[in-house]
């Protein structure tokens, strides 16, 4: 039963990236391929923990692995990000509006501060 529950939590990219350390791994992989030892060291986590995260990311198609000699190099598989990108893209029209409002708010704030000085 526990196995099924685990599978459900990581069965898609959205659930996989809900975990902050997995987002950190993906951010590092944007720069290129990494061996698990270096990833673990860079993120200050144990190698088994890093391997576990990488396995989840591989299962949902966000990370691929390449054998180079005896080393396994992990890289980003951007294809897996497509559903997330498309979902987030549906909100773009709201950002422009909110950025405009933010800009107005910041300008108002500056004027208020100048008046108080």
- The token pair that represents 37 in the structure block: 């030892």
| Domain annotation covers residue 103 | no
- Reported as a single tens digit per residue, the pLDDT across 44-69 is 999 999 999 999 999 999 999 999 99
Looking at the structure of the chain, the number of domains it has is 1
User: Per the domain annotation, does 105 fall within a domain?
Assistant: no
Examine the pLDDT at 105 and tell me if it is beyond 70.
yes
Asked, for residue 36, whether it belongs to a domain, the answer is yes
* Domain that residue 67 falls in: 2-92
Q: What pTM does this model have?
A: 0.71
CATH number of the domain residue 24 falls in = 1.10.10.10
91 three-state secondary structure: coil
**What stretches of the chain adopt beta strand conformation (E)?**
34-35, 63-68, 71-76
């Amino acid at each position: 039963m526990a196995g099924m529950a685990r599978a459900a939590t990581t069965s898609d990219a959205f659930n996989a990236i809900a975990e902050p350390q997995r987002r950190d791994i993906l951010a590092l992989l944007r720069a290129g391929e990494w061996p698990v030892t270096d990833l673990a060291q860079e993120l200050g986590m144990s190698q088994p923990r890093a391997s576990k995260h990488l396995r989840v990311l591989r299962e949902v198609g966000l990370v691929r692995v390449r054998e180079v000699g005896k080393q396994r190099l992990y890289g980003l598989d951007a294809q897996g990000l497509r559903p997330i990108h498309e979902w987030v893209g549906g909100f773009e029209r709201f950002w422009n509006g909110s950025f405009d409002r933010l800009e107005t708010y910041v300008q108002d704030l500056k004027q208020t501060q100048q008046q108080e000085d």
